[in-house]
Structure formats: C-alpha cells, structure tokens
Structure 1
Amino acid sequence: MRAIEPIAKFDLAFSLMCLQNKHRHLVSRLSKAISHTGDGHLYVLLGVLALWLDGQHGRYFLLSGLLAFVIELPCYWLLKNTIKRRRPNELTGLIPAFITPSDKYSLPSGHTAAAFVIAILLSHFYPQLAAFAFVWASMIAFARILLGVHFFSDVVLGACLGIATATFALQWFGV
C-alpha cells in the first residue's frame, strides 16, 4: 500500500486545487454539459452515422466500437468492483460532488474509458478528426474530476483502458 501513497496524495491535492475555488459552481455547470456528451448516446449516433454515410469504413468503425465496448465494459466493471476505490467526496468532506455518479466506485473512470475508445476509433478511421477527438476525450476526463466524482489517477486508468480496448479491436479486425 505504501507504493500508492504518493499517487493518493497527488490525487487529493489535485482535486482540492481544482475544486476549492470561488468559480467551482460555474465550472461544474460547464463540466456537466461536457460530461454528458460522454454518457453513451453520442457513441451510438456516431456508429450509426458512420455505417450509414461511410460504407466500408463506417462498417468497421461500428464493428470495432462494438468489440471494444464488449471488452471495455466488463473490464471496467471488474476493475471497479475489485479495487473498490471510494469516490473523492466519500474520502473527504473538502471535495464536493456536483453530480450523483451512476455507480459506487471511482477507479477507473468509465466515462473516460468510453471517450478514449471513441477517440482512438475516430482518429483511426477519420484522421482529420484526431485532434478534436482527443481534446474532447480529455475534456470529458477533466470534467469528471471537476465534478468531484473522480481522481486524476481514475481518469488516467480509464484513458488507458479505452485506448487498449480500442487498439485491440482495430487489430482484431485488421483495419
């Protein structure tokens, strides 16, 4: 456990820095809107649009996304329920939570994992969207911290999970 103490200290200090300011309520409203784009509805729409508008590329975009999520979701659930890291506001009263999360534990961030799945797929199939996709995925990750429901290391692990599962799916289909 001593090995993770520096990470836990950094996570707490980073969250406090982000959330202990006079603008936190204004920032939380913007963060909610950004985070909401990562709830999953947009991913379905992107997959359907790609299939409808882009033939072969769209087909592989959709199939790669489905495979990535078939792998990512159980891994995310298993990690969360094995590690059982409490949410920031449960660990200290100094960190407010501006939303009610959909599940109990914080590590890894599922929103971040899903956003990075989509960012990898968009950048692979539509390279002209790569910069936008990674900025957007990073904004979702940071929004989760600003909403007080994740620590920095939660979103880093979520991003790694999303990148790994999307990369695996692309390799699986050989695209």
Structure 2
Amino acid sequence: MNILQNIHAVDVQTFSWCMARKHRVLLTRIGRAVSFSADGPLYVAAALLFWFTGYKVLVLVMVVGFLLERLVYLVLKKGFKRNRPADALDNFSSFIIPSDQFSFPSGHTSGAFFMAYCLSEWFPSMNIMLYFWAANVGLSRVFLGVHFPTDTVIGALLGSACAALAIGVLV
C-alpha cells in the first residue's frame, strides 16, 4: 500500500468519525454559516473596506497573494483530482452542493487561512479570533461532507504559505 492509500484510509476513518458525532446536525447547521463566511465575495467586500480606510498595502498583499493562492489551488485541484466524500464513499451524500468537482485541497480553508494570516499581520490583537474562525471554516467543510480532513489541512498550509510569501515579498 503506498503513502497516498494510507493517508486516504486514515482520512476516511477520521471523516467517518466526524460524521458519527452525536451533535452532527447542529454542527452542520453552524457549519453552513461558517462556511458561507469564507465565500469569495466577502473577501472582495473586505478588500474594498480596507482600501477605503487607508490600508492600501494590505489590499495589495491580499490581491497579489490571493491570485497566487488561487493559481496554486487550481493546479493542485486539477492535478490530484481527488474525489469528494460523496463520490468516494458508498451511501454518503454531502449536506451542501460543492462549487466544483474535486476535493483536494479545500479552497474555503485555504482562503480563510490566507485571510487570517494577512489580517493578523496588520491587526495582531485579533489573531486568536482570526485563526479560530479559519480553523472552524476547515472543520465546517468536513462536517458539511464536502472535504476529507487532509483537504482542509493542506488548504490551511497553502493559504498560510501564500500569505507569508506575499507579505515577505511586498512588505
């Protein structure tokens, strides 16, 4: 068995454990709202708000870094073509309809960690709240049934790395 098969087996076990939680229905309801908070249009609204309040360097970092993040994200999605849980597991349906076909990496999680990292650099007193939100975005994607746990872990790493790179180059 190769490493990817081992990772997938652990992923399926962890995913199944999450789906078997007693309060999964409540977690799914909460997950919808948390997941929605990481949709792309809200990032555009945030960038506009920061632009008009004088945080132009932050907006530059957000635009350049997010373009890099989306590029890498799309290359990974198209390259790995990992099936989502509903397509990979028998007798399972997700609680929402995902916006694209493949699971790896989680774009919502990547975007959330990208934003958390960037905003933490400008507003360090908010970093616990920002990373708490980003981690919950990742968890919501699992509890909504559209990602395996490693999809969200890699998404978190991708978003953080792109933010660090953008900040390192532009600031």
Q: Which residue is equivalent to 1:24?
A: 24
Per-residue deviation, residues 78-133 of structure 1 (Å, max 9, x unmatched): 11011000001111125430000000000000001100110011110110111111
Q: Which moved more, 1:82-91 or 1:2-11?
A: 2-11
What are the ranges of 5 or more consecutive residues in structure 1 without an aligned counterpart? none
Q: Which moved more, 1:87-96 or 1:33-42?
A: 87-96
What does 1:26-175 align with in structure 2 at a 5 Å threshold? 26-53=26-53, 55=54, 58-173=55-170, 175=171
- Please give the TM-score of this superposition, normalised by the length of structure 2: 0.94
**How far, CA to CA, are the matches of 1:135 and 1:79 in structure 2?**
25
For the residue of structure 1 that corresponds to 2:105, the secondary structure is coil
Query: How far is the alpha carbon of 1:50 from its aligned partner?
Result: 1.7
Aligned AA (1:136): W
Query: How far is the alpha carbon of 1:28 from its aligned partner?
Result: 1.2
Per-residue deviation, residues 38-57 of structure 1 (Å, max 9, x unmatched): 0122212221222222x2xx
Matched, 1:5 2:5: yes
Q: Is 1:120–1:166's contact at 8 Å kept on the other side of the alignment? A: yes
Aligned AA (2:112): A
The count of corresponding residues between Structure 1 and Structure 2 is: 171
Between the two proteins, what is the percent identity of the paired residues? Answer: 37
Superposition RMSD in Å: 1.3
- Please give the TM-score of this superposition, normalised by the length of structure 1: 0.92
Query: How far is the alpha carbon of 1:61 from its aligned partner?
Result: 0.9
**How far, CA to CA, are the matches of 1:41 and 1:157 in structure 2?**
22
**How far, CA to CA, are the matches of 2:30 and 2:144 in structure 1?**
10
Q: Is 1:86–1:106's contact at 8 Å kept on the other side of the alignment? A: yes
**How far, CA to CA, are the matches of 2:96 and 2:26 in structure 1?**
14
Query: How far is the alpha carbon of 1:21 from its aligned partner?
Result: 3.8
Q: Is 1:31–1:146's contact at 8 Å kept on the other side of the alignment? A: yes
**How far, CA to CA, are the matches of 1:38 and 1:165 in structure 2?**
17
